[in-house]
Amino acid sequence: MPRSVIVHENFLRRVPARDFPAGKAPVPGLGPVQAVEVFRAQLESRALDLTARAMQKAGQGFYTIGSSGHEGMAAVAAALRPEDMAFLHYRDAAFQLMRARQVPGQSPVWDMLLSFASSSEDPISGGRHKVLGSKALNIPPQTSTIASHLPKAVGAAYSLGLARRRPPEHRALAEDAIVMCSFGDASANHSTAQGAFNTAGWTAWQHVPLPLLFVCEDNGIGISTKTPDGWIEASFRARPGLRYFKADGLDIYETFAVAKEAADWVRARRKPAVLHLRMVRLYGHAGADLPTTYLPKAEVEAEEANDPLLHSVRLLSEAGAMDPEAALAAYLETRERVDRVAAEAVTRPRLKDAAGVMASLIPPARACRPTNGPEPAARAAAFGADLGQMAEPQIMSRLINWALTDLMLEHGEIVLMGEDVGRKGGVYGVTQRLQARFGADRVIDTLLDEQSILGLGIGLAHNGFLPMPEIQFLAYLHNAEDQLRGEAATLPFFSNGQYTNPMVVRIAGLGYQKGFGGHFHNDNSVAVLRDIPGLILACPSDGAEAVRMLRECVRLAREEQRVAVFLEPIALYPMRDLLAEKDGGWMRAYPAPGERASLGSVAVHGEGRDLAIVTFGNGVYLSRQAQADLAALGIAARVVDLRWLAPLPEAAMLEAVAGCGAVLVVDECRRSGGPSEAIVAALALAGVRRVARLAAEDSFIATGPAYAATMPSRAQIVAAARAALGR
Ligand SMILES: Cc1ncc(C[n+]2csc(CCOP(=O)(O)OP(=O)(O)O)c2C)c(N)n1
Ligand SMILES: [Mg+2]
């Protein structure tokens, strides 16, 4: 017999027999009316679990991970306010159901059943996944990657203090709200979780406000692997900067009282805390998981005997809030009602086609306050003597610095964060003086943890800021990449466009740094960024391009709520000359504020028709050199700078190469996974017949004299061009 049926029958048998698991008398705090509300939310949660299983059996439901055993989370919801943004563990249906009881006009059972049924009318994900979540209830949906929501919860909590000091235009969270974030005991071990605890503690240690309540739902096991006895308490009890609270999550009175104490503490002191709740996990990890295959039956039965609903019935009875007969009747009535609602929910429409699924990959545009650009007086004050040099050609790093200055003057909600971006001004000076100009609130020197940097950005974006996180080197994105791939890029998708985290991530990267750093400072792979649905990947080739493209990225984030990655070629930051020493051929004047290079556009250099060289980043620089060499050989080439690596500007590219005798694609990234794979495919599919490719070797980059040996060179481009033309 399925464990779910056993637990159900135990309940039906034990309540009339007054056979309850032992526990404390109800502690004060939860009033009788509220206690009954909590219990009703628990009952709905339980009934939904059972119905989800029946729906799956009938081929009408598609996901059965449940909340049974974790219904005590309803008492945590009761202790919080609906304005407190909640980043929830997947076992927290009871939390959402209880929160819905605190907000008028909600129909959470119907909503959740639509989600179980993958109906396109599911109000949170539009039928894309069975997720908890609700815009009205301040519950953003979470992915099932455990612990990956913790860094952004830290960021959202940080945003509360920042928003008090400088409210952003699209502020979403209330002045005295706190943030809540829950997770399982096994999840607490994940390095992403550990990073978030550390970042929260590190922040609070410095008396920076961080009103965040972590809730660890400790059922003692993660799928089949047990958490060592006492581990969670031992690892949280004495963490610097984090206050520890503990309660029996099976007891709604105690849970409410301690959760209230913890929430009040977090709210009043604006500091982070951990609430450690003891839970049980009933009927295994998810529908297909049989706990008796890896746990002794007696142990499974002991957990079942501790059903939190049985604890609640005893407690409500002892508190005089509800007698067991009424509780049993409510249980049966709830089950029957949920089944009835489910029968209706499964008749609702489902997503059918790719267009329907993809409709929320790109979030809707939002209305923004109009702006006339940065104020002249503010510019004069910020730029000082630099203002007089703007018509003079400059190196790229300086121009990006100026662009950032103008953007920050224009948009008060822009916040920069990263390793060494503030006082030092970045490893390459790109963010120099920005902290002096805009203050430590807007240019944040973070701790050394890329997941936390991106999490801070995502969390700030949840509260209306426009974050511009910096990753110091592309090679160091990879240990945090899931924050973009699994989190930032999926939020609009799984929330049907209701939740967004627009931002512009600046990353210094790519190769060709003469003799510096080797592979870890010269990473020439963008494969992990190219295939993230909805993500924009920009890669400028010179300073003026960088300025215009950065402005477009900020516009896309601010107005269209997009997530953009702005990949800055390090080797081009200081580049001055193109063809001869001191020719200044790679320096550019500062484009006037307002000039932008739009997404989907390309830049074309030269009008040659013998050959089009399609490239980006450092490839543009090398191809412009090769273009001169080819001209000396009588070959007229044009260089097409793609600007955008995702989505590729296919139409503009095809227009730019039209009528050319051949196309050479120059890709400084690896042959495998580099953008040229898609570029060549697009050209071929469009019928362009003579296409050649020069890409980097499938190798890591060496330091020392061979620093550029694995990547395309000026001479190789010339040779490849001649070969393509047979000349
Ligand atoms: C990063 C990641 N690794 C593995 C998994 C697969 N997985 C899903 S839940 C889970 C166990 C989580 O246990 P715990 O945190 O204790 O939560 P519980 O299910 O017990 O409530 C695992 C390994 C995952 N979702 N994400
Ligand atoms: Mg667990």
pLDDT digits (tens, 9 = 90+) for 537-548: 999 999 999 999
CB 222 within 8 A of CB 75: no
Q: For the chain, give the longest Cα–Cα distance.
A: 98
Distance 289 CA to ligand 1 centre (A): 13
Round to whole Å and give the CA distance between 680 and 532: 20
Radius of gyration of the chain (CA): 29
For residue 231, count CB atoms less than 10 angstroms from its CB and return exposed for 0-12, middle for 13-18, buried for 19 or more: middle
Total count of residues recorded for the chain: 727
Share of residues in the chain with pLDDT > 70 (%): 100
Q: How far is CA 515 from the centre of its chain?
A: 35
pTM exceeds cut of 0.85: yes
What single-letter DSSP state applies at residue 350?
B
pLDDT at 517: 76
Round to whole Å and give the CA distance between 475 and 548: 25
Place of tokens 């139409």: 651
pLDDT of 229 strictly over 80: yes
- Tens of pLDDT along 97-135? 999 999 999 999 999 999 999 999 999 999 999 999 999
Share of residues in the chain with pLDDT > 90 (%): 97
pLDDT of 287 strictly over 90: no
Distance 146 CA to ligand 1 centre (A): 6
Round to whole Å and give the CA distance between 328 and 322: 10
Place of tokens 């159900």: 8
pLDDT at 288: 83
With CA atoms as reference, report the closest residue to 529 among 471, 611, 606. 471
Round to whole Å and give the CA distance between 388 and 689: 50
Round to whole Å and give the CA distance between 251 and 280: 12
Distance 285 CA to ligand 1 centre (A): 9
With CA atoms as reference, report the closest residue to 570 among 628, 621, 645. 621
Atom number, ligand 1, closest to the C-alpha of residue 70: 21
What single-letter DSSP state applies at residue 84?
S
With CA atoms as reference, report the closest residue to 85 among 11, 147, 131, 149. 149
Provide the mean pLDDT of the chain: 97
pLDDT at 255: 98
pLDDT at 413: 98
- Tens of pLDDT along 614-627? 999 999 999 999 99
Q: How confident is the model at residue 316 (pLDDT cuts 50, 70, 90)?
A: very high
Query: Mean pLDDT lowest for which of 371-375, 498-502, 664-668, 681-685?
Result: 371-375
Q: Specify the amino acid at residue 522.
A: N
CB 502 within 8 A of CB 561: yes
b/e 570-607 (16+ beta carbons within 10 angstroms → b): bbbbebeeeeeeeeebbbbebbebeebbebebbbbbbe
CB 502 within 8 A of CB 563: yes
CB 724 within 8 A of CB 692: yes
Q: Which residues contact 336 (CB under 8 A, 6 or more apart)?
A: none
Give the dihedral sign, CA 579/580/585/586. positive
Q: How confident is the model at residue 519 (pLDDT cuts 50, 70, 90)?
A: confident
Q: Which residues does ligand 1 sit against, CB inside 6 Å?
A: 91, 144-146, 184-187, 217, 219, 221-223, 281, 285
Round to whole Å and give the CA distance between 4 and 48: 12
Ligand 1 probe mutation, 49, 130, 146, most atoms within 8 A of CB: 146
DSSP string, 590-650: PPPTT----TT--EEE---SSEEEEE-THHHHHHHHHHHHHHHTT--EEEEE--EEES--H
Distance 165 CA to ligand 1 centre (A): 37
Structure tokens at 482: 């899931």
Structure tokens at 362: 């790109």
Distance 220 CA to ligand 2 centre (A): 5
**Type and span of the H or E element at 305:** helix 297-305
- Sheet containing 273-278: order of strands: 85-87, 179-184, 212-218, 273-278, 243-248
CB 693 within 8 A of CB 664: yes
Atom number, ligand 1, closest to the C-alpha of residue 185: 16
CB 502 within 8 A of CB 462: no
pLDDT at 606: 98
Give the CA angle between residues 343, 349, 352 to the nearest 5°.
135
